[in-house]
Structures are given as structure tokens and as C-alpha cells.
């Protein structure tokens, strides 16, 4: 379809740069904005380093079964209240008679200590990382997909479509986010969730994922709507329409690539927010349901014994802060790279 398209922008742009090359051999060859952005991002060592840190965190989460099976030789949910372990040549209880779990051994087993049920904190931390990261990334994808569809539809079709979608946004905007998330989380945690043919059990990770994904839509959809409202008046849209392109083709073929950089800037920040919201919901008992581990559930269960066994709170807390921090710093780097003169857009 694109090959026999006479007014396709890409070949035309290349044609121009080739002509320039003929005229002045020193002129740089055509560089796409993406390549320029990548070049700027590569120069920003700090944000690149935090991007790498995030990838390492993801890899360590993926390696959770390896650590559990070959190093710690346990599972994230295996209790061991009455067991003992050799520490500094002495045999000590994993959970003392007073119910205080052992602290970090820095050895193969109980590397980061145990929790009240005698479970290995390191193993739970890695499996918790899987759940927290999975929820964060998938929820961000849900947010992004819904926001793109709704925001583009509202901005592109205007009229009644826009009126309905925008009023719905107004309502969502007024809804206290945290209260909505908690209300949905608790209600769904009891009964499970049915969306058409899909059924999610009450303990399913998809429930918090779905809630977190939906709750954030309005914050991204509004800026997208604003951008599409102005983009749809541009000449390239008119050109596409003159060629007989349909609405869907214009929206996804012409407009979507133009808002791609906005989406790319927002994505790491949305993932960071989703991970934070998961932790907050789990802390209030409305997110991941125990015994499944996540950083939020680990922190909230660790807080009850902060005094006697602080490692239970500090380990997941530190992981959570590091993950969100790395996403935030990397996200800022991406924003600076894509739009060096970026201003913080407050609304629309």
C-alpha cells in the first residue's frame, strides 16, 4: 500500500537529502529525528546508566527461579517456621521462639534473612520483583492503549464523540484516584472479575494490573486529545485525506507516528507510577493478594515487625525505590533527548 503511494513523505525527505549531498559533499547525510534523539541520549551517561540499572533489575527478576532452585533451594511460598540454619558456625532458629525471623545471613540460604513464616526474603524479593514489574509494565501498556484509542478518537472525530469521551474524562478526573483503585481492588479481590469471555480468579495478578491500567488512562488521554486536535488540521492529514485515506488509516498511519514521541516520553514514567500504585494498593490490601509476593505486600507485611526485623521492610523498599528512581531518571533522559526544549505540560 505504501510502495505505490506517490506523496509518501519518507522517500521525498530522503530525496531532498540526496540532492544536498550532491551539492555539498560535506553536508551530513539525512538523519532522522529518532537517530538524533538516540545520539543525545547516548551522551547523557547518567540517564543511560539508570536505564541499564532498570534492565538489570528486570533480568534479576527473570532469573528468580534460578536463584530459588539452585542457590537458595526453596520456593517463594515454602514456610519454614521450625527450621534451623548454621550461621557463624552456630545453629540458630530461622524464626526464634519469640517469632523474630533471622536477619541476612549473606550466604546461599536466607541471603537477606527470613520473614515471620520462615520464607526466604531474597527468593520472595525476586519473585516479588516479577510480579511488581509485570503489573507495572502491563498496566502501563493497558493505560497507553486505551489512552491512545480514546484520546485519538476524541481529538480526531470531535463533535459528539469528543463530547461523550471528554465528559467521561471529567468524571474520571474528579474521581479520587486512590479511592477508586482501592474500592475496585477490594471489591474485585473478593469476587474476581469477568470481562466478556475472560474470567479472572479473585487472586489473579490481572485484577490489580487491570485496575492500575484503567485508573491512569485519563492523565495520558487528555494530552493526546489536545495534540491530535491540533495535528488533524495539519497539511499532511489533508494530503492523506485527499489521497482517499480512511479515518482509521489517517489515525493510525498518520497521526499515531506523530504522537509516538509523546508516548515514548510518558512510558517509563507511567510504568514508574504504576509500580508505585501497585505498592500503595497492596499496602492497603487492595492490590496483590497474599501469599503471592510483590514489593508492596512485602513492605506492608514487614512493617508490622519493623522493630525486630527491619530487613523485611528495607529489602523490598530499597528495590522499589531503586526501580522507580531508575525509571524516572531514564524517563527524564528520554524526554530531554526527544525534545531538548521540552516544557512540562501541565494540562491538555
Partner 1 sequence: MATFLIRRLAGMAFVMFVVSVLTYFIFFVLPGGDPAVRMAGKRPTPEIINAIREEWGLDEPFYTQYLTMMGKLFSGELVSYDQREDVVARIIDGAPRTFALAIGAAIIWFAAGVALGLFSAIRAGGIRDRVVTVLALIGISTPVFLLGALASYYIGYKWGILPDGGYTPVSEGGLWQWLKHLIMPWLVLATLFIGVYSRIVRSSVLDTINDDYVRTARAKGISERRVMTRHVLRNSLIPVVTLWGLDFGYVLGGGAILTEKVFGIQGVGGYFADSITRLDVPPVMAVVLFGAFFIVLLNTIVDIVYALLDPRIRLS
Closer of 53 and 71 to partner 1 (Cβ): 53
Q: Does the footprint of partner 1 cover residue 196 (CB under 8 A)?
A: no
Strands 84-87, 198-200: pairing kind: unpaired
Cα(197)–Cα(65) distance, rounded to whole angstroms? 32
Strand partners, 93: 84
Specify the residue for cell string 530487613: 311
Residue 19's CB: how many other CB atoms inside 10 A? Answer: 10
Closer of 180 and 256 to partner 1 (Cβ): 180
Listed in order, strand segments (DSSP E) in 155-294 are 193-195, 198-200
Q: Is 344 left (phi over 0), alpha (psi -120 to 50) or beta?
A: beta
Cα(136)–Cα(331) distance, rounded to whole angstroms? 15
Residue-wise burial string across 215-229, b where 16 or more C-beta atoms lie within 10 A, e elsewhere:
bbbbbbbbbbbbbbb
Touching partner 1, residues 105-164 (CB under 8 A): none
Q: Does the footprint of partner 1 cover residue 198 (CB under 8 A)?
A: no
Touching partner 1, residues 270-329 (CB under 8 A): 272, 276, 279-280, 283-286, 299-300, 303, 306-307, 310, 313, 317, 320-321, 324-325, 328-329
Strand partners, 198: 195
Closer of 30 and 310 to partner 1 (Cβ): 310
Q: Is 60 exposed, middle or buried (0-12, 13-18, 19+ CB in 10 A)?
A: middle
Closer of 261 and 326 to partner 1 (Cβ): 326
Closer of 155 and 296 to partner 1 (Cβ): 296
φ, ψ at 255 (rounded to 5°): -80, -40
Closer of 69 and 201 to partner 1 (Cβ): 201
Cα(231)–Cα(159) distance, rounded to whole angstroms? 16
Q: Does the footprint of partner 1 cover residue 183 (CB under 8 A)?
A: yes
Cα(297)–Cα(132) distance, rounded to whole angstroms? 10
Shortest distance, position 284 Cβ to partner 1, whole Å = 6
Cα(321)–Cα(101) distance, rounded to whole angstroms? 24
Q: Does the footprint of partner 1 cover residue 334 (CB under 8 A)?
A: no
Closer of 153 and 286 to partner 1 (Cβ): 286
**Member of 184, 205, 250, 337 binding partner 1 (CB under 8 A):** 184
**Member of 176, 196, 197, 244 binding partner 1 (CB under 8 A):** 176
Q: Does the footprint of partner 1 cover residue 190 (CB under 8 A)?
A: yes
Strand partners, 206: none
Closer of 106 and 173 to partner 1 (Cβ): 173
Shortest distance, position 325 Cβ to partner 1, whole Å = 4
Listed in order, strand segments (DSSP E) in 206-319 are none
**Member of 81, 180, 231, 245 binding partner 1 (CB under 8 A):** 180
Binding-site size, partner 1 (CB under 8 A): 46
Q: Which residues of the chain form contacts with partner 1 (CB under 8 A)?
A: 170-171, 173-180, 182-184, 186-188, 190-193, 272, 276, 279-280, 283-286, 299-300, 303, 306-307, 310, 313, 317, 320-321, 324-325, 328-329, 343-344, 346-347
Amino acid at each position: 500500500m505504501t510502495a505505490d503511494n506517490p506523496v509518501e513523505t519518507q522517500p521525498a525527505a530522503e530525496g531532498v537529502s540526496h540532492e544536498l549531498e550532491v551539492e555539498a559533499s560535506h553536508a551530513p547525510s539525512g538523519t532522522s529525528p529518532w537517530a538524533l534523539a538516540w545520539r543525545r541520549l547516548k551522551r547523557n551517561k547518567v540517564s543511560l546508566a539508570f536505564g541499564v540499572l532498570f534492565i538489570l533489575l528486570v533480568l534479576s527478576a527473570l532469573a528468580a527461579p534460578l536463584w530459588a532452585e539452585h542457590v537458595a533451594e526453596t520456593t517463594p511460598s515454602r514456610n519454614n517456621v521450625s527450621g534451623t540454619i548454621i550461621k557463624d558456625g552456630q545453629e540458630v532458629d530461622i524464626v526464634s521462639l519469640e517469632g523474630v525471623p533471622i536477619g541476612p545471613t549473606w550466604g546461599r540460604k536466607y541471603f537477606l534473612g527470613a520473614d515471620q513464616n520462615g520464607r526466604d526474603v531474597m527468593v520472595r524479593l525476586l519473585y516479588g520483583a516479577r510480579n511488581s514489574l509485570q503489573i507495572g509494565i502491563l498496566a502501563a501498556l493497558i493505560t497507553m492503549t486505551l489512552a491512545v484509542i480514546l484520546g485519538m478518537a476524541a481529538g480526531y472525530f470531535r463533535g459528539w464523540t469528543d463530547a461523550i469521551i471528554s465528559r467521561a474524562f471529567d468524571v474520571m478526573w474528579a474521581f479520587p484516584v486512590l479511592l477508586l483503585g482501592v474500592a475496585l481492588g477490594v471489591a474485585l479481590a473478593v469476587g474476581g472479575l469477568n470481562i466478556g469471555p475472560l474470567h479472572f480468579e479473585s487472586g489473579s495478578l490481572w485484577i490489580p494490573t487491570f485496575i492500575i491500567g484503567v485508573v491512569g488512562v485519563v492523565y495520558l488521554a487528555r494530552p493526546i486529545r489536545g495534540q491530535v486536535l491540533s495535528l488533524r488540521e495539519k497539511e499532511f492529514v489533508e494530503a492523506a485525506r485527499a489521497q482517499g485515506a480512511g479515518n482509521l488509516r489517517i489515525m493510525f498511519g498518520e497521526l499515531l507516528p506523530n504522537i509516538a514521541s509523546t508516548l515514548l516520553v510518558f512510558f517509563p514514567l507511567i510504568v514508574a507510577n504504576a509500580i508505585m500504585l501497585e505498592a500503595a494498593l497492596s499496602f492497603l490490601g487492595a492490590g496483590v493478594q497474599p501469599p503471592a509476593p510483590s514489593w508492596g505486600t512485602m513492605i506492608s507485611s514487614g512493617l508490622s515487625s519493623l522493630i525486630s526485623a527491619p530487613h523485611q521492610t528495607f529489602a523490598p523498599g530499597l528495590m522499589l525505590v531503586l526501580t522507580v528512581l531508575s525509571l524516572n531518571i531514564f524517563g527524564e533522559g528520554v524526554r530531554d533527548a526527544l525534545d531538548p526544549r521540552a516544557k512540562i505540560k501541565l494540562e491538555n
